């Protein structure tokens, strides 16, 4: 009898792990699709029932239809800590989320539309009508995340007329107090939305000397239409990302303008030199237009 009871307990424990992992996996995939409007998959999620820790591997956010690359964003690995005492509550306390190895692919289709514009439109739609875009069950448990650390982000920007993709590297992004603005917490889709906005803003800030000014302007304009990160009570290491992104865009525009002025001055000087040379050869000074 004791052996039977122990066997049943082992079976229950195994089933609990299997079903919890599957439910967590499905929750992440639903949340990603709801927040961004594109298919989201994750290869594996492992929940530690007694350790209060979870891990995920190989998350893939699909590209919108009509773009060359199969994915918009990929994540190699992530780790989450959960307060076990809060699991029975409506708002679950999450001490930290750590994400490692993110690749972000931005590109334009043959019509000149950028995939990040489509993604941002999906984010805006989710923020405007969350109840209509969330899958069933997404409005259940919510989370307060004390710290989010995102490391090793690489943006592959294939937006130039010629040449290969421009690489923009973001070593680390640090957010704190996610979901604490009103104490109500945020659901899975809102967490995804916040993380993608932070990645966008950091990529803009770090790509100011690499990305074309029109791309920086477009991405900043898209972020301006979304709910502010800092306006939600989220603290960001260093300067606020929204301000940083705008400063980066301005810097890129100023650099492009300065480069244009230098080119124009150089062309004018070269033309003047050519004119002087012709004058000397022909011994017939060119008349200057009044």
pLDDT at position 54 is 81
Of 104-113, 182-191, 257-266, highest mean pLDDT: 104-113
Of 192, 213, 175, which Cα lies nearest the Cα of 72? 192
Mean pLDDT of 214-243: 78
Task: Give the residue carrying structure tokens 């980066």.
Answer: 248
Of 78, 83, 52, 65, which Cα lies nearest the Cα of 119? 65
Separation of alpha carbons 53 and 49, rounded Å = 8
Tokens coding 215? 């791309």
Of 205, 216, 210, 207, which Cα lies nearest the Cα of 245? 205
pLDDT at position 131 is 58
pLDDT at position 113 is 92
pLDDT at position 49 is 61
**How many C-beta atoms lie closer than 10 Å to residue 115's C-beta?**
23
Q: Distances in Å between the alpha carbon of 93 and those of 78, 232, 235, 255?
A: 17, 17, 17, 45
Separation of alpha carbons 7 and 15, rounded Å = 12
| pTM for this entry | 0.74
What is residue 135's DSSP assignment?
Answer: P
pLDDT at position 45 is 84
Separation of alpha carbons 106 and 118, rounded Å = 11
Give the model's confidence band at 238: pLDDT under 50 very low, under 70 low, under 90 confident, else very high: low
Q: What tens digit of pLDDT does each residue of 171-225 get? A: 999 999 998 887 788 999 999 999 999 999 999 999 998 999 999 999 999 999 9
Separation of alpha carbons 242 and 197, rounded Å = 10
pLDDT at position 190 is 92
pLDDT at position 155 is 95
Rg (the chain; Cα; Å): 26
What is residue 106's DSSP assignment?
Answer: E
Contact yes or no for 54/44 (Cβ under 8 A): no
Looking at the chain, list the stretches that DSSP marks H as alpha helix, in order from N- to C-terminal side: 2-36, 115-128, 130-133, 188-206, 213-224, 241-282
Mean pLDDT of 23-39: 89
Mean pLDDT of 253-265: 47
Would the pLDDT of 151 be above 60? yes
Domain locations along the chain:
2-282
pLDDT at position 51 is 65
pLDDT mean across residues, the chain: 77
């Amino acid at each position: 009898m004791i052996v039977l009871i122990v066997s049943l307990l082992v079976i229950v424990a195994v089933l609990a792990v299997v079903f919890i992992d599957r439910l967590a996996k499905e929750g992440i995939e639903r949340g990603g699709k709801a927040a961004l409007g594109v298919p989201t998959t994750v290869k594996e999620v492992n929940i530690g029932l007694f350790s209060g820790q979870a891990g995920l591997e190989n998350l893939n956010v699909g590209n919108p239809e009509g773009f060359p690359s199969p994915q918009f964003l990929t994540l190699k690995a992530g780790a989450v800590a959960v307060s076990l005492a809060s699991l029975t509550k409506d708002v679950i306390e999450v001490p930290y989320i750590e994400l490692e190895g993110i690749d972000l692919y931005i590109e334009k289709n043959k019509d000149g539309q950028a995939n990040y514009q489509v993604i941002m439109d999906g984010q805006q739609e989710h923020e405007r009508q969350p109840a209509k875009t969330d899958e069933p069950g997404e409005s259940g448990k919510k989370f307060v995340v004390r710290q989010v650390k995102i490391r090793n982000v690489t943006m592959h920007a294939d937006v130039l007329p010629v040449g290969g993709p421009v690489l923009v590297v973001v070593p680390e992004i640090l957010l704190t107090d996610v979901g604490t603005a009103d104490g109500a917490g945020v659901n899975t889709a809102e967490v995804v939305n916040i993380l993608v906005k932070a990645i966008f803003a950091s990529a803009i800030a770090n790509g100011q000397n690499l990305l074309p000014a029109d791309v920086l302007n477009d991405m900043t304009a898209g972020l301006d239409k979304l709910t502010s990160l800092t306006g939600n009570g989220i603290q960001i290491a260093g300067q606020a990302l929204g301000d940083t992104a705008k400063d980066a865009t301005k810097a890129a525009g100023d650099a492009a303008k300065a480069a244009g002025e230098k080119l124009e001055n150089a062309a004018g000087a070269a033309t003047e030199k050519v004119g002087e040379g012709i004058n000397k050869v022909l011994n017939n000074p060119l008349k200057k237009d009044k």
